[in-house]
Amino acid sequence: MLLCLIVSWALAPGLHSRTPILTYHDVIQTRDASSLWFDCAANELEQQLTWLEKQGAHFVSVTQIYDHLAKGKKLPPKSIAVTFADGYEGFYSLGLPVLRRHRVPVAMFVHTDYVGDQHNRPKMNWEQLKELDREGLVTICSQTRTHPADLRTLKTPALTEEMAGSKKSLELHLGHQVRFLAYPNGKYDERVARAAAKAGYEMAFTEQLRPCETSPNLYMISRYVHTKYRQAWHDAYRR
């Protein structure tokens, strides 16, 4: 059983490139004493994308990443992918204008039970998510229903519902298949990965700091937190 699982999840053979994937969270107006480690000010996002462009970066979508990792399709030289987590309204109001100016395709991972929630840090609503989905620059993906702190601690029925319930909700609202998942806080194990596959996702993301081609399989795809963007670039292209 385990052998079949590993073979069916395997990356395409002959992947000799090294491609970094970044993950961001909230985008804020300015950084101050209340800012959290995962916050990225709008001007910081602009500076980071500009720095990457000066290095020769080609920004690719998560669908291109999947076609590369699963099917062996080649990516442009010096490719890098960008993802966002948690569905914050700051992405829509502050991050999206920057991404549009730079024409950077991104994935947005959403925990569906909190879509439109206005407590603490507001989340995007369904109308905003559908607008992004129609535009095409943003690929809407799942980050479970409730963003548990650690999926590994959930019993199987709850784990199954976190995975399948989120996928069902997104597909109902967006009207098409949702293919990709990110594990909240990057925490996973083999049981969690099996649940992602059983729910029908084609690829799932962690927060391991290494190029995506070095990932164990399609359900354990590595990403760098955005504060490590220079390390991510150096690991891939400054060898």
Confidence at residue 1, expressed as pLDDT on a 0 to 100 scale: 38
pLDDT of res. 2: 41
pLDDT at 239: 63
Q: Which residues contact 150 (CB under 8 A, 6 or more apart)?
A: 184, 185, 187
Strand pairing class (79-85; 106-110)? parallel
Q: Where are the alpha helices (DSSP H) in the chain?
A: 2-8, 42-54, 62-71, 89-90, 96-102, 126-135, 156-174, 190-198, 229-237
Q: What angle do CA 19, 48, 103 make, to 5 degrees?
A: 75
Asked if residue 67 lies in contact with residue 81, where contact means CB atoms within 8 angstroms, the answer is no
- The pLDDT of residue 235 is above 70: yes
Give residue 198's domain range: 18-29+37-237
61 φ/ψ sector (left φ>0, alpha ψ -120 to 50, else beta): beta
Please state, as a whole number, how many other Cβ atoms lie within 10 Å of the Cβ of residue 3: 7
How crowded is the C-beta side of 224, counted as CA atoms within 13 Å? Answer: 24
How far apart, in whole angstroms, are the C-alpha atoms of residue 12 and residue 68?
A: 8
User: Is the pLDDT at 209 greater than 80, yes or no?
Assistant: yes
pLDDT confidence bin for 151, thresholds 50/70/90: very high
What's the whole-model pTM score? 0.94
pLDDT of residue 5: 44
In a domain, 3, yes or no: no
SS3 at position 139: strand
Rounded-to-integer distance, Cα 29 and Cα 98, Å: 12
Residue 13 falls within a domain, yes or no? no
**Does 2 fall in a domain?**
no
CA distance 87 to 92: 9
Question: Is 158 among the domain residues?
Answer: yes
Q: CA torsion sign, 132 to 137 to 142 to 143?
A: negative
Residue 100 located in a structural domain: yes
Residue 71 in any domain: the answer is: yes
Cβ neighbours around 60 below 10 Å, total: 20
pLDDT at 4 over 90: no
Q: Which of 114, 97, 74, 88 is nearest to 26 (CA)?
A: 88
Q: Count how many domains the chain has.
A: 1
As a 3-state breakdown, the chain gives helix, strand, coil percent values, each rounded to 5, of 45, 15, 40
Half-sphere exposure (Cβ direction) of 81: Cα atoms closer than 13 Å: 30
Q: How far is the C-alpha of 133 from the C-alpha of 147, rounded, in Å?
A: 21
pLDDT per position as a tens digit, 159-173: 999 999 999 999 999
For residue 163, give the H/E element and its range: helix 156-174
Does 217 map to a domain? yes
Report percent pLDDT > 90 for the chain.
Answer: 91
Report the CATH number at residue 178: 3.20.20.370
Q: Would residue 8 count as lying in a domain?
A: no
